[in-house]
Structure 1
Amino acid sequence: MSLLEINKLTKHFGGLAAVSMVSMELESNELVGLIGPNGAGKTTLFNLLTGVYEPSEGRITLEVDGKKQSLIGKKTYKITEMGLGRTFQNIRLFKELTVLENVLIGMHAKNNVGTLAGIVRTPSFYHSEAEMKNEAIKLLKIFNLESKQTEQAKNLPYGEQRRLEIVRALATKPKILFLDEPAAGMNPQETADLTDLIRQIQKDFSITILLIEHDMSLVMNVCERIYVLEYGRMIAHGTPAEIKNNKAVIKAYLGGD
């Protein structure tokens, strides 16, 4: 049973088909790339999978407790609770909040303390808050951000802001992590560090990662399989070696052989 199945997914914006008849599958604990030229529909696909947009056609199903559940029509927060976490092409941290507070916000997606307990501040509420804080600090320590926990997110260097956004997504305890161009704006050393970080995440957290990225060296180095979009349609799927030599992919990127 595939962890996530996408079948003939389509999204129209007026007369434009941003995503058209896209099908793909993700298995447990694998690292998959999604590439394509600018405007190919990659981020639109992410937005469909995470409930930002609703598809015009098609199906999206996620394996939850051994059963297939449709994601169509579900709110974004509900999809997060079901196990899909993501980062964004443009960093979307809560810039005025501290590093620790950003991670705690992610953890509240899995907080089981009821509304009433939160209002009257019961012992269970304080116990839950303390547990979440300890867990958040452990996460920050793994990603070398523990010493920055009291700093405002806006004061972090660009590379560390990218890392913090990944930590916040991991704080939701996802089964699948969608990374939307995590290397955007990074220098070569930051990109190399990110490559190691993505490998570390998959190893330490045993989760599936779907990576959108324009840096081909990063994609080819870390991904086990790669899907390729062009003008909203899937034109290729295979291993990095197969994709590198695929004529349709070469033409999509370079306009010829």
Structure 2
Amino acid sequence: MPVYSPTAVEDPDTVACPVVGMAIDTREHASDWHAHRRTQLLYQVEGGVTLYLADRVGQLAPLQAAWLPAGCVHRTAMHGTFAYRSLYFDVSVYPDLPREPRILDVNPLLREMIVRITHWPSDRALDAPRARLVGALLDELAAAPTAPLHLPMPRDRRLAPIARELLENPACPLSIDDWGRRVGASGRTLARMFLAETGLPFTRWRAQCRLLTARARLAEGASVTEVAHAVGYASDSAFIAMYRRAYGEPPGRRRRRRDSLP
């Protein structure tokens, strides 16, 4: 299987095969904004990935994959040591692929099919057995549990820097009134605008932001205590309660699943 660095990757939009796979193993990396003419399936093997779309942010962890339709403008920030496998589908050959970005859970069968396809040469057409495997893969993807990329980003010039700062530093303790004094608007005005642009109250948006960061840090192997402090909680118990309310399980269980990955 070809394993590339992010700066030496063959352009998947120019190869002959209608489905091409790539394997990337490297350390911390951030891509520029870009889009592909092909639909991309980005499967995270190790580490955490923050995925940015024009109006949304998502967090990708091991055992998950991002579905990025052809033409979807995006960028990624990959943290620590990471590994991912990407498949690219020619939409002229597969015109009925889903057209909305989403995050999918990857079961063991899907994982093995993704890895198998990354072994294939990119300079030849699919023979019948490979075409059948791609068909089976697409059937499995259609049945996989999905989640939306669920942190909407505000675009207003006063709100956008607040959102960016909280993504970079989710432990930031500033209230909406504190932010208002920084950007020259009342806290009430900012709260109203945040709700109008994202569909979420400011406090709930910030909580979602912290959850995204927490899941990424847990996927990287950080302890519950480290993660709790990184996202602004003074005690483990408060963080665990928040996480359990959101996901129905304690954060330590996600870390144990990460440690059990093959």
TM-score category (smaller protein): under 0.3
- TM-score, with normalisation over the residues of structure 2? 0.26
- TM-score, with normalisation over the residues of structure 1? 0.26
Structure number with the bigger relative contact order (C-alpha 8 A, sep ≥ 6) is 1
